[in-house]
């Protein structure tokens, strides 16, 4: 479809973007309209790639003349453009030489200097920070059409660093200008000199000394250090019993076993959690019954729990997300009305308080995690807390093969070789090596939380005035553990999605994560229960825009400022264009 002017060009480009199989041709006068690309991308409203190709021929002039432009949306990228994609920052522009030179005088050019390239693009002089010549360079490089040079320098959208130049003689007669549908990001250097991991444990000489003491004692499996850790942790959270195990998954499993969960039973929980919360229910052949979340804090919406309780319901399993406590009293009230047990997944919630009371002694069970990324760590570990003597005894028994109480002492001076297996238990016990770490981490927990709280405060102060961002929830009547800083992107104000935001943070040497992929989106739950993404619309919607920033006590002030600067820079450069006039 040829058009003799620029008036009908933009509708044609939009139509072509919606129909990747179509190609349109626009004649030379369009090139003089220097805003056409900017307007076209704004009108597209699509996250794809616009490829503008100019046919160049040697006509006795010093350089090729572009006289025809074709535009098309491509999906997937052509192999030619795909080759350079790893070098191209989202939002960047790539000028790709790929044409045969008809003028023999240009065939012996060996290379081209950075300054010579910049001379072709006067509008880029202030923005180019580095130049990467994509290998292997051909023996032939020629000046780009002055028309294209003018176009590139005149459009703010394309004012970015030049990333790659390659020539393939005897191939196509067309230079390619590849323009992704994203705003430009002009920095080509890493934001930091070193990578900032998303999470790191805060370990020091005290932990090493405690480990050495344990190793020197010769008792490295479950023993006196584990018992001491249990006692000190129980006091810290205000629970009568604490049983140390090798993961929070084990803790949840043992708690469900203790209440007698059976095949065909149901447990009410949230889809917005890690898979362990729900998988332990499936261990028994029981069904996890999902309830959508409250968007304020990502936790289960207590107002919706009553609707799904049935005669088969055995328990409610809420999750304290990021370290902000759920509405425990409201959930307890529902549980009491229906005769249900409450098992809290507190993997994120130490040390967390609800209205002055530590999470750990408020429900039938509370299960904690001491995984490597958690607020205190033993490498791999967990803890079951309960005020029920019978359930505590059952969990302790089942955590070590179902062997009679204090079986670990049978190798000590006061122990006996005789033991009895009273139930088919599991191998979930914690070692003294892990407990030694836990004892030191427990003593440091308050200091580490204070540092995380300060980091969260700095983040929120920096981001709260930005309409593109939603800072995490907090409540004045609670103590947030700040295990996670769950930032949310207001995607309607940005031209990038969450995945690209995370990628841009990584390009700036800052690690981020996403919490969580809702369980009903995973193949197992889709295939087993027939779930669709919109079955839990709040969980699905919040998942699409959530990104977790680094927040741990080992971070320096410089680290924190780097994260803030990176987030603000990405937002500034990725704001959705707004029409003027």
Distance, CA of 139 to CA of 100 (rounded, Å): 12
CA dist list (Å): 48 to 92, 529, 576: 14, 34, 15
Give the phi and the psi of residue 102 in degrees, each rounded to 5: -85, -20
Indicate the DSSP class of residue 490. Answer: -
495 catalytic residue (yes or no): no
Residues 6+ apart with CB under 8 A from 47: 181, 182, 497
Three-state secondary structure call for residue 34 = coil
User: Residues near 515 by Cβ (< 8 Å), separated by ≥ 6?
Assistant: 321, 322, 484, 486, 546, 548
Whole-number CA gyration radius for the chain: 31
| Residues 6 or more apart in contact with residue 48 via CB below 8 angstroms | 17, 20, 73, 74, 75, 181
Task: Report CA-CA distances (Å) from 494 to 158, 461, 531, 572, 573.
Answer: 18, 20, 29, 9, 9
Closest CA to 519 of 499, 498, 544, 536: 536
- The most distant pair of C-alpha atoms in the chain lies apart, rounded to whole Å, by 101
CA distance 427 to 21: 59
Chain centre to alpha carbon of residue 171: 42
Instruction: Find the helix packing angle between 557-574 and 432-463, rounded to 10°.
Output: 50
- Distance between CA atoms of 141 and 139, rounded to whole angstroms? 7
Q: Among 110, 168, 353, 374, which one carries the catalytic annotation? A: 374
- The Cα–Cα gap between 137 and 116 comes to 16
Rounded alpha-carbon distances, angstroms, from residue 470 to 129, 211, 487, 546? 32, 42, 6, 9
Helix axes 557-574, 498-507, angle to 10 degrees: 130
Q: Tokens standing for 262?
A: 């059976």
Name the one residue in this structure whose structure tokens are 């390619």: 176
Helix (H, G, I), strand (E, B) or coil at 367: strand
* Residue positions annotated with a catalytic role: 374
């Amino acid at each position: 479809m040829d058009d003799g002017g620029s008036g009908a060009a933009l509708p044609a480009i939009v139509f072509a973007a919606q129909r990747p199989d179509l190609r349109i041709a626009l004649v030379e006068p369009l090139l003089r309209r220097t805003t056409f690309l900017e307007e076209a991308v704004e009108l597209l409203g699509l996250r794809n790639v616009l490829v503008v190709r100019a046919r160049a021929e040697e006509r006795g002039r010093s350089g090729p003349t572009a006289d025809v432009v074709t535009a098309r949306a491509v999906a997937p990228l052509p192999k030619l453009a795909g080759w350079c994609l790893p070098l191209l920052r989202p939002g960047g522009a790539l000028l790709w030489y790929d044409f045969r030179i008809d003028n023999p005088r240009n065939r012996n050019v060996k290379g081209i200097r950075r300054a010579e390239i910049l001379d072709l693009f006067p509008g880029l002089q202030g923005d180019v920070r580095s130049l990467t010549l994509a290998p292997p360079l051909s023996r032939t490089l020629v000046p780009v059409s002055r028309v294209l040079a003018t176009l590139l320098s005149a459009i703010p959208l394309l004012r970015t660093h030049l990333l790659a130049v390659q020539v393939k003689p005897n191939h196509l007669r067309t230079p390619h200008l590849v323009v992704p549908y994203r705003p430009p990001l002009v920095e080509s250097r890493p934001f930091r000199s070193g990578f900032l991991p998303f999470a790191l444990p805060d370990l020091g000489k005290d932990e090493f000394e405690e480990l050495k003491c344990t190793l020197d004692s010769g008792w490295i499996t479950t023993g006196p250090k584990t018992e001491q850790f249990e006692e000190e942790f129980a006091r810290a959270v205000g629970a009568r019993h604490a049983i140390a195990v090798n993961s929070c998954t084990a803790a949840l499993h043992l708690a469900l076993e203790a209440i007698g969960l059976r095949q065909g039973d149901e447990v009410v929980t949230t889809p917005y959690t890690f898979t362990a919360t729900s998988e332990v229910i499936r261990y028994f052949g029981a069904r996890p019954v999902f309830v959508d979340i409250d968007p304020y804090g990502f936790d289960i919406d207590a107002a919706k729990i009553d609707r799904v309780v049935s005669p088969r319901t055995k328990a409610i399993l809420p999750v304290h997300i990021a370290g902000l406590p759920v509405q425990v009293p409201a959930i307890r009230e529902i549980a009491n009305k229906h005769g249900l047990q409450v098992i809290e997944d507190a993997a994120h919630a130490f040390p967390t308080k609800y209205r002055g009371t530590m999470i750990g002694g408020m429900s039938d069970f509370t299960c904690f995690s001491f995984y490597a990324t958690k607020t205190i760590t033993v490498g791999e570990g967990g803890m079951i807390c309960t005020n029920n003597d019978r359930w505590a005894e059952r969990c302790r028994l089942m955590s070590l093969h179902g062997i009679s109480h204090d079986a670990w002492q049978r190798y000590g001076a006061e122990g006996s070789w005789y033991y009895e297996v009273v139930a088919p238990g599991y191998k979930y016990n914690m070692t003294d090596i892990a407990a030694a770490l836990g004892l030191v981490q427990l003593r440091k927990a308050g200091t580490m939380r204070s540092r995380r709280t300060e980091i969260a405060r700095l983040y929120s102060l920096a981001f709260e005035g930005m309409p593109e961002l939603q800072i995490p929830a907090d409540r004045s009547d609670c103590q947030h553990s700040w295990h996670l800083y769950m930032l949310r992107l207001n995607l309607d104000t940005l031209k990038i999605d969450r995945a690209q935001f995370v990628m841009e943070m990584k390009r700036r040497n800052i690690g981020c994560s996403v919490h969580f992929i809702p369980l009903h989106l995973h193949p197992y739950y889709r295939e087993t229960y027939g779930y669709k993404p919109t079955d839990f619309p709040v969980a699905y919607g919040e998942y699409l825009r959530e990104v977790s920033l680094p927040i741990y006590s080992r971070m320096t002030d410089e680290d924190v400022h780097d994260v803030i600067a990176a987030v603000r820079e990405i937002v500034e450069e990725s704001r959705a264009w707004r029409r003027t006039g």
